[in-house]
Amino acid sequence: MWKMAAVHVSMLRGINVGRQKRVRMDDLRGLYEGLGFTRVTTYVQSGNVVFASAASEEESALGERIEAAIAVTLGVSVRVIVRSSDELQRIVDNNPFLKRGEDPASLHVTFLAGAPERAGLDEVPSPNADEDEFALAGREAFIVCRHGYGRTKLNTALRGARRRSVGATPGGNRHRPSTPPAVHALP
């Protein structure tokens, strides 16, 4: 019986930031194709890859398989977070700040490899409501940065939680109610 390939997005954490962990997107596309994935597309120099897979692997298993192949083939050690296209759409649809009517240009999502440990979140300051806010839901941290992501204090404060459960944060085009966000891995 013929099975339709599921579309996924993988986010490689910390590649092509500065001079470390440099990976050419042509090499990355070739590696994914060598793993048997189809419809492989990379997003700028971010290390984000959209691909289709006929295999019925869990996202965590896909991520581990990609991580191992990158280490062996490209000589780079990176963490890989994978989400299905359906899951990305659910994440956009369930963003509490989007539902509340916040400006989509100020919204971000940090994708975590697993649910964050509460211990890492104890260090996060209570933000001033007219500046930044965040909300956790499963493996995602939804963030509002009213004065820009580069200026938020939550970015630094949430690093502790991300260290304990590797994370990547979207950028580029901001997500709209009907369109999953373009994503790039955060250093």
Question: What are the residue boundaries of the structural domains of the chain, listed by start?
Answer: 6-85, 87-168
Strand-pairing partners, residue 52, are 7, 38
- Angle CA 102–107–113, to nearest 5: 135
Residue 175 pLDDT > 50, yes or no?
Answer: no
* DSSP states along 60-129: HHHHHHHHHHHHHHH-----EEEEEHHHHHHHHHT-HHHHTT--GGGEEEEEESSPPPHHHHTTSPPPPT
pTM assigned to the model: 0.76
Residues 43/182, Cβ–Cβ less than 8 Å: yes
Q: Say if residue 130's pLDDT is above 70.
A: no
pLDDT band at 181 (very low <50, low <70, confident <90, very high): very low
pLDDT digits (tens, 9 = 90+) for 77-120: 888 999 999 999 999 898 999 889 998 888 888 888 877 766 55
Query: What are the residues facing 9 on neighbouring strands?
Result: 50, 83
What is the predicted pLDDT for the residue at 184? 33
User: What average pLDDT score do residues 60-86 get?
Assistant: 92
pLDDT at 57 over 70: yes
Note the pLDDT tens digit of each residue in 7-42: 999 988 877 666 778 788 899 999 999 999 999 998
Residue 163 has pLDDT above 70, yes or no: no
CATH class entry, domain 6-85: alpha beta
Q: Rounded to whole angstroms, what are the CA distances from 41 to 30, 52, 107?
A: 10, 10, 25
